[in-house]
Amino acid sequence: MKCLLISLQANAYVAGLKYIAAQVRARGHDAKILLLPGYLEPELHPAIEDFIRDYDPDLTGISLMSIEFYSAKNLSYLLREKFQTPIIWGGVHAIVKPEECIKYADYICYGEGENTVVSLLDHFRDKGKDLVPALPNIWIRHNETVIKQDAAPPIAELDHLPYQEYLPQYYYGFHNNKIYNFASAPRLFRKYALYGGTCHMMITTRGCPFNCGYCANASLVSVYGRKVRERSVENCIEELKEVRKDDFVLYINFQDDCFFVHNKEWIKRFCEEYKKHINLPFIVRAIPTMLDKEKLSLLKDAGLSIVVMGVQSGSDHVNFNIYDRKVPFATVKNAAVLISEFKAVPYYEMIVDNPYETEENMMETISAMSRLTRPYTISLAHLTFFPGTPLTQKALDDKIINPEAYLNRYMVDIDYTYLNKLLYITPYIPKSFINLLNRPSKSRNLTHSLLTHVLFFIIKRTVEPAVYMFLIARSLNYNMNQVIRTFSGYWRSALSKLLFNYLSKSDLQYSKKLTYFRKHRPSLFESDPHITEK
């Protein structure tokens, strides 16, 4: 049996689909991955139609984040006009909003997809497509009735799954009205890959030890549970050995919610094997309260370059009482000292545009961030109210949000308010300037606004890139060969960040398409009639 797995996101990072495709192929079926970046069109392009017709899949899977909901809905309509192939939706949005998604797909994967998709293909092969499958993790739309099957327990032994490849032979992309095999056109793959394809994106665990009130994980724990599952060191190194064969890979980017969830014995063993067999710079994510000096020392010695750490707010009131994130800012300060001590690149993530955050809270955040050990870099994200989270439910009860706003706006598409701009430039200006500018609206004048705007414009285009380059060079111990290769590979992502404020050109085009379709094809944004549940 053959399965076509489609991603609609703008970049080529499709780890979830790679895992599913690898499992499908390991279990005796065939799979291809097709990237249709930001595809939202009134008709199915002939090149896409020909590709699908030639492959003739038995099952088409569409993976979607929330921002891709309308494009997934539209694509499903277009596919049904041309093909009779059953469609299954999966991904984060299918789990957090299954009742909505099942209206437009034949099946919903309500959980991890590796074994679920294989089981469905086995069912098609052994019992045919007409018999309704009784399989865990699957919701079925049959004769306008929804049948909800029981959830399967999360995959306990992650080592039993085949690992994802950096650039599989079965990965294709739609570019300039043609379908290309990315493995045969690696330069094209790098055009769509994050960081110019210089990073291999990898996970060593599944799950997050936290349950923050704003995070989609708050919805996912009902499916996956709270236990963090981990791969063995040997399993991770075997994946990386294969990745290491591609000379274009300069970095390993570990996407775990918190790499420091591994115990010291695991990290010590990992670092020994990593230095011996891989020996590339790498990136990890950290939660401030879980950062550990001994672990950090081991990781830095093994090649740690960048630490991405969620701070979210400098106000303990906001973190504790609004975000339900029990991370005192004092632990952020301690973690920042450690990261600086080991000369890794500190990259701190913040949430802005929070309707529950007062001007005083925001000023407190700016003041707190100004006291962190410098130099460091920062990113801002718009607070997105994902369905099923405690914070979203509160905002709905308080009637302060549009229930569908999360479907139309990227998290990095922030409001460029006075205080947001000031927070963004806080790592790069003297504290005396911050104290001068960090004031409530009632006490600001034209000079404050003009100075903040000018500083933001200049810093974003000069100082910030320079600081980032210095931090990278320092983290690589000023190894000029590695520094030059890193920046030559990163230039495309850096240019995109500079020109488009973190949104890529494809993201901006997709936003415009959403606006156009809302005006000229409003039916796409209307809900289908209610279907019966069973």
Residues 400 and 454 in one domain: yes
Tell me if 143 is assigned to some domain: yes
Residues 412 and 350 in one domain: yes
Burial of residue 17, with CB atoms counted within 10 A of its CB: 0-12 exposed, 13-18 middle, 19 or more buried: buried
Share of the chain above pLDDT 70, in %: 95
Tell me if 362 is assigned to some domain: yes
Q: How confident is residue 145, by pLDDT bands cut at 50, 70 and 90?
A: very high
Phi, psi of 403 (to 5 degrees): -60, -20
- Domain hosting 456: range is 193-503
DSSP assigned state of 461: I
Question: Which range has the worst mean pLDDT, 166-175, 268-277, 345-354, 488-497?
Answer: 488-497
Question: Which range has the worst mean pLDDT, 247-261, 482-496, 504-518?
Answer: 482-496
Contact residues for 384 (Cβ-Cβ < 8 A; gap 6+): 66, 214, 405, 406, 409, 411
DSSP β-ladder status, 282-286 and 377-382? unpaired
Residues 417 and 475 in one domain: yes
Q: How confident is residue 213, by pLDDT bands cut at 50, 70 and 90?
A: confident
350 near 381, Cβ under 8 Å? yes
Q: How confident is residue 506, by pLDDT bands cut at 50, 70 and 90?
A: low
168 near 181, Cβ under 8 Å? no
177 near 45, Cβ under 8 Å? yes
Q: Which of 158, 173, 204 is the C-terminal boundary of a domain?
A: 158
Contact residues for 174 (Cβ-Cβ < 8 A; gap 6+): 34, 35, 36, 37, 39, 45, 47, 48
Tell me if 179 is assigned to some domain: no
Q: Which of 158, 179, 208 is the C-terminal boundary of a domain?
A: 158
Determine the pLDDT at residue 60: 98
Residue 498: pLDDT over 50? no
* Nearest residue to 212 via CA among 395, 400, 393, 389: 389
Q: Of residues 208 and 168, which shows the higher confidence score?
A: 168
**Torsion over CA: 511, 508, 178, 169 (sign):** negative
Tell me if 333 is assigned to some domain: yes
Tell me if 185 is assigned to some domain: no
Please confirm whether the linkage preceding 375 is cis (ω < 30° from 0): yes
Q: How confident is residue 500, by pLDDT bands cut at 50, 70 and 90?
A: very low
Phi, psi of 499 (to 5 degrees): -85, -35
DSSP assigned state of 150: P
Determine the pLDDT at residue 122: 98
Tell me the average pLDDT across 448-452: 96
Tell me if 418 is assigned to some domain: yes
Q: Which CATH number does the domain housing residue 88 bear? A: 3.40.50.280
Strands of 251-254's sheet in order across = 199-202, 251-254, 282-286, 304-312, 345-352, 377-382
Q: How confident is residue 220, by pLDDT bands cut at 50, 70 and 90?
A: confident
Tell me how far apart the alpha carbons of residues 230 and 262 are, in angstroms, rounded to a whole number: 8
Question: Which range has the worst mean pLDDT, 230-244, 307-321, 471-485?
Answer: 471-485
Q: How confident is residue 490, by pLDDT bands cut at 50, 70 and 90?
A: low
386-406 tens-digit pLDDT: 888 899 999 999 999 988 888
Residues 134 and 203 in one domain: no
| Average pLDDT along the chain | 91
Q: Which of 141, 158, 175 is the C-terminal boundary of a domain?
A: 158
* Structure-block tokens of residue 181: 């095999």
Question: Which range has the worst mean pLDDT, 83-87, 148-152, 181-185, 223-227?
Answer: 223-227
Determine the pLDDT at residue 237: 98
Residues 379 and 450 in one domain: yes
Question: Which range has the worst mean pLDDT, 48-57, 96-105, 476-485?
Answer: 476-485
Tell me how far apart the alpha carbons of residues 147 and 140 are, in angstroms, rounded to a whole number: 5
Q: Which CATH number does the domain housing residue 257 bear? A: 3.80.30.20
Question: What is the tally of structural domains in the chain?
Answer: 2
Residues 438 and 358 in one domain: yes
Helix (H) or strand (E) holding 283: strand 282-286
Determine the pLDDT at residue 529: 60
Determine the pLDDT at residue 501: 46
Tell me if 304 is assigned to some domain: yes
* Nearest residue to 62 via CA among 47, 46, 78, 50: 78
Question: Which range has the worst mean pLDDT, 25-34, 321-330, 463-472?
Answer: 463-472
Contact residues for 518 (Cβ-Cβ < 8 A; gap 6+): 524, 525
Residues 137 and 281 in one domain: no
The identity of residue 98, as a single letter, is P
Residues 117 and 235 in one domain: no
Residues 152 and 221 in one domain: no
Tell me if 142 is assigned to some domain: yes
224-277 tens-digit pLDDT: 777 899 999 999 999 999 999 998 898 999 999 999 999 999 999 999 999 999
Residues 139 and 247 in one domain: no
Phi, psi of 303 (to 5 degrees): 125, 10
